[in-house]
Amino acid sequence: MATVTIYHNPHCSTSRKALELLRSRGIEPTIVQYLKTPPSAAELQAIARASGAPLRALVRTKQPEYLAQGLDDATLTDAQLAAALHATPVLIERPIVVTARGARLGRPVENILDLLD
């Protein structure tokens, strides 16, 4: 299989399950610990496009930073939202798996299955 990337938080059980699922299928993905190495704003926008979902689908709205930064403002552009996610990566929902077939938020983990061969 072509390159598979997982935007991963090792402290998140769902993220660990997604990584385990990939490995159980013989896939050793490129692991991006996004809290240490956040994707750029442009990468986040590209991931959202590849997923077919709006960028807001990748935002952890229950984090205190979400309201503190005013990210509930529906008038924010994707560029503004992506910049906020890059600057505050704890706001990025996880896990996100990216393949040549697209990108999926792994909540639930089964969402990533249609990306796999």
Cβ partners under 8 Å of residue 112, min gap 6: 18, 21, 22, 95, 97, 104, 106
Q: How many CB atoms lie within 10 A of CB 63?
A: 16
> Measured between alpha carbons, how far is 50 from 81 in angstroms, rounded to an integer?
17
Q: Is residue 12 annotated as a catalytic residue, yes or no?
A: yes
Grouping H, G, I as helix, E, B as strand and the rest as coil, residue 12 is: coil
Whether the CB-CB separation of 92 and 58 falls below 8 Å is answered with yes
Which residue of the set 1, 12, 27, 53 is catalytic? 12
Q: Which of 55, 46, 52, 3 is nearest to 28 (CA)?
A: 3
Catalytic positions are: 12
